[in-house]
């Protein structure tokens, strides 16, 4: 009787605990890297969802074990989001039979190399999620293609899950888009070369071309028109800025306008090199030195060679009447490995620069300078003018010549910017400001960082070299840069999250597969048999 009462009490406690857990759920992240803990920014975004939000994840099906981990990580994250806001619903969908429909929605499949039992095969997957709220939708790319190993790719994908979903949901919640002006005067890059970069911005911002030299307007009207935009993109100007132009830009910045400067301070170009085999490189005078100097930086009229560089395709022979091409390292195209924890550049593929110059930072106590793009230590800096010849590519590398150290090629500036015209004659009359409130700008010493290539008259993806097939992180870096300038710093800080994932050793797994199959099947049976044996012996001893 007493035993029955104890059983009833235990069952009653279990029922009470389950009821309390249902009505008052408590979630505790016990992982060392806090992988299941949402940031305050994510919680704030998710709490703002005031209508049903549906997420379809196309990671259901027959995937290798490593990529099943990606699906499990996505599911765990979505469960955390649902715990914050019950309006969030999700489902995992097998994309089989839906390929054409998904491609029309912008979901390009990824080709996955599968290694199993020593055999290698290829498999197409759709590593995407579709987030929908009302009539609005956002596509979430869960796996950015890269030249890394699949383990590195998976690590970066899992670390990026929180940012990817938070960014998509914040876009769905956005009522009014901020506006961006794209400079169209001063010989800047044409739209076709900025197509991929600007396409990535248009879902979040209103974009418009802008010229500093309209024939029908005076300088004050140009400044007033520019002030209507939250930010300004200046991509590879090639002609000189007048004092009127600079004063308009200066007062725009003083009044809170953000600027992304992508500048070439030399005339170096692959077009002339590929046409003539050699090229005379001279300084390019944009007349911006004094303006940038007042903001705390100086872009130099030089070129950087880096042993950590990307390849270019060059004709190296002719066989059977067909030109043979080889992919060869070109030291004037540095590859930037992002090893800092800055949210703009963290978790990105390497970034390719072309004929970059160096940047010096100057003493300016009110401005914080954060390096974004830095070369390796194995560099050589060359002054201009100089002659560059494609034959340099075949010359033997002499490491002792590459000892210039790490060079700065991109920098984030944050703080109160002093006007370059504070103590100078003003080019025209306007309501002058000597100092800005606290805000930001980014200066990059490479005008081609945002330039995609052209093939058959059509723009190609910015992140893929059409000749060599190399992949880079230029587009995502620039999108992050613009988002940070426009006030998404809290959202981008989610990218700082680093997870300690332990990947399986595939060689060891293949070698010990049979052993562990026997262990997994035989060990439970052995334990069960031992338990039965011990239980039988105890009963015999008890009733003997």
In which domain, by residue range, is 533 found? 508-543
pLDDT > 90? residue 250: yes
Question: In the prediction, which pLDDT does 30 show?
Answer: 47
Does 397 map to a domain? Answer: yes
> Quick one: 238 and 335 in the same domain?
yes
- What average pLDDT does this structure show over 478-493? 87
Instruction: Give the per-residue SS3 of 117-134.
Output: CCEEEEEEECCEEEEEEC
pLDDT confidence tier of residue 342, bands split at 50, 70 and 90: confident
Stretch among 58-72, 85-99, 422-436 having the lowest mean pLDDT: 58-72
Question: In the prediction, which pLDDT does 249 show?
Answer: 97
Above pLDDT 70, what percent of the chain? 85
Does 160 map to a domain? Answer: yes
Question: In the prediction, which pLDDT does 257 show?
Answer: 96
Q: Which two tokens stand for residue 402?
A: 């590459």
Stretch among 98-112, 410-424, 447-461, 472-486 having the lowest mean pLDDT: 98-112
Burial of 160: CB neighbours in 10 Å, binned 0-12, 13-18, 19+: buried
Does 433 map to a domain? Answer: yes
pLDDT > 70? residue 436: yes
pLDDT > 50? residue 494: yes
- What average pLDDT does this structure show over 86-92? 94
> Quick one: 387 and 462 in the same domain?
yes
> Quick one: 121 and 255 in the same domain?
no
pLDDT confidence tier of residue 437, bands split at 50, 70 and 90: very high
> Quick one: 116 and 57 in the same domain?
yes
Say how many domains are in the chain: 3
Question: In the prediction, which pLDDT does 10 show?
Answer: 67
Q: Express each pLDDT in 383-403 by its tens digit.
A: 999 999 998 998 888 989 999
pLDDT > 90? residue 352: yes
> Quick one: 233 and 124 in the same domain?
no
Does 6 map to a domain? Answer: no
pLDDT > 70? residue 7: no
> Quick one: 187 and 318 in the same domain?
yes
Q: Which two tokens stand for residue 289?
A: 């030195």
Question: In the prediction, which pLDDT does 487 show?
Answer: 86
> Quick one: 105 and 231 in the same domain?
no
> Quick one: 142 and 194 in the same domain?
no
> Quick one: 378 and 526 in the same domain?
no
Q: Which two tokens stand for residue 396?
A: 């033997």
> Quick one: 167 and 183 in the same domain?
no
> Quick one: 365 and 456 in the same domain?
yes
- What average pLDDT does this structure show over 6-20? 70
Higher pLDDT, 491 or 103: 103
Element (H, E) at 517: helix 513-542
Mean confidence (pLDDT) of the chain: 86
pLDDT > 70? residue 337: yes
Stretch among 34-48, 134-148, 497-511 having the lowest mean pLDDT: 497-511
**Cα dihedral sign, 72-73-74-80:** positive
358 half-sphere exposure, CB direction, 13 A CA radius: 19
Helix ranges (DSSP H) in 400-512: 474-485, 489-492, 506-511
Question: In the prediction, which pLDDT does 34 show?
Answer: 52
Question: In the prediction, which pLDDT does 75 show?
Answer: 93
Q: Please give the Cα distance from 230 to 483 (Å, whole number).
A: 12
Higher pLDDT, 530 or 132: 132
Closest CA to 144 of 475, 458, 448, 454: 475
Question: In the prediction, which pLDDT does 485 show?
Answer: 95
């Amino acid at each position: 009787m007493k035993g029955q009462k104890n059983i009833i009490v235990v069952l009653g406690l279990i029922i009470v605990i389950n009821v309390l857990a249902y009505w008052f759920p408590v979630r505790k992240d016990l992982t060392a890297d806090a992988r299941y803990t949402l940031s305050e920014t994510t919680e704030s975004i998710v709490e703002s969802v005031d209508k049903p939000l549906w997420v379809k994840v196309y990671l259901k099906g027959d995937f290798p074990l490593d990529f099943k981990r990606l699906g499990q990580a996505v599911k765990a994250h979505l469960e955390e989001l649902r715990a914050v806001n019950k309006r969030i619903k999700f489902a995992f969908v097998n994309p089989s039979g839906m390929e054409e429909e998904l491609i029309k929605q912008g979901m390009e499949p990824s080709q996955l190399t599968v290694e199993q039992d020593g055999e290698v095969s290829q498999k197409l997957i759709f590593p995407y999620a579709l987030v929908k709220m009302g009539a609005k939708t956002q596509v979430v790319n869960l796996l950015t293609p890269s030249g890394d190993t699949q383990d590195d790719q998976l690590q970066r994908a899992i670390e990026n899950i929180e940012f990817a979903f938070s960014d998509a949901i914040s876009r769905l919640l956005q009522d009014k888009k901020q506006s961006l002006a794209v400079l169209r005067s001063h010989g800047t890059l044409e739209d076709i070369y900025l197509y991929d970069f600007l396409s990535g911005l248009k879902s979040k911002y209103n974009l418009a071309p802008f010229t500093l030299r309209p024939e029908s307007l005076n300088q004050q009207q140009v400044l007033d028109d520019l002030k209507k935009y939250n930010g300004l993109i200046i991509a590879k100007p090639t002609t000189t800025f007048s004092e009127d132009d600079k004063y308009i830009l200066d007062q725009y910045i003083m009044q809170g306008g953000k600027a992304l400067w992508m500048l070439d301070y030399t005339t170096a170009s692959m077009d002339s090199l590929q046409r003539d085999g050699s090229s005379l490189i001279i300084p390019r005078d944009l007349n911006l030195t004094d303006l940038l100097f007042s903001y705390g930086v100086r872009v130099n009229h030089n070129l950087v060679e880096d042993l950590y560089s990307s390849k270019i395709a060059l004709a190296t022979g002719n066989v059977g009447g067909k030109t043979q091409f080889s992919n060869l390292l070109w030291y004037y195209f540095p590859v930037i490995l992002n090893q800092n924890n800055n949210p703009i550049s963290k978790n990105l593929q390497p970034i390719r620069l072309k004929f970059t110059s160096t940047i010096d930072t100057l003493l300016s106590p009110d401005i914080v300078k954060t390096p974004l793009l830095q070369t390796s230590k194995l560099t050589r800096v060359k002054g201009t003018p100089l002659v560059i010849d494609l034959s340099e590519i075949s010359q033997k590398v002499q490491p002792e010549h590459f000892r210039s150290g790490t060079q700065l090629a991109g920098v984030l500036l944050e703080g109160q910017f002093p006007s370059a015209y504070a103590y100078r004659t003003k080019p025209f009359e306007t309501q002058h400001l000597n100092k800005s409130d606290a805000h930001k700008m980014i200066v990059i010493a490479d005008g081609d960082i945002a330039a995609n290539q052209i093939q058959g008259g059509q723009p190609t993806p910015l992140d893929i070299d059409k000749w060599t097939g190399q992949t880079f992180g230029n587009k995502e870096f620039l999108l992050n840069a613009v988002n940070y300038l426009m006030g998404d710093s809290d959202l981008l800080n989610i990218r700082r999250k680093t997870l300690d994932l332990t990947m399986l050793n595939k060689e060891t797994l293949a070698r010990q597969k049979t052993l562990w199959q026997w262990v997994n099947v035989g060990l439970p049976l052995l334990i069960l048999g031992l338990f039965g044996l011990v239980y039988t012996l105890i009963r015999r001893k008890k009733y003997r």
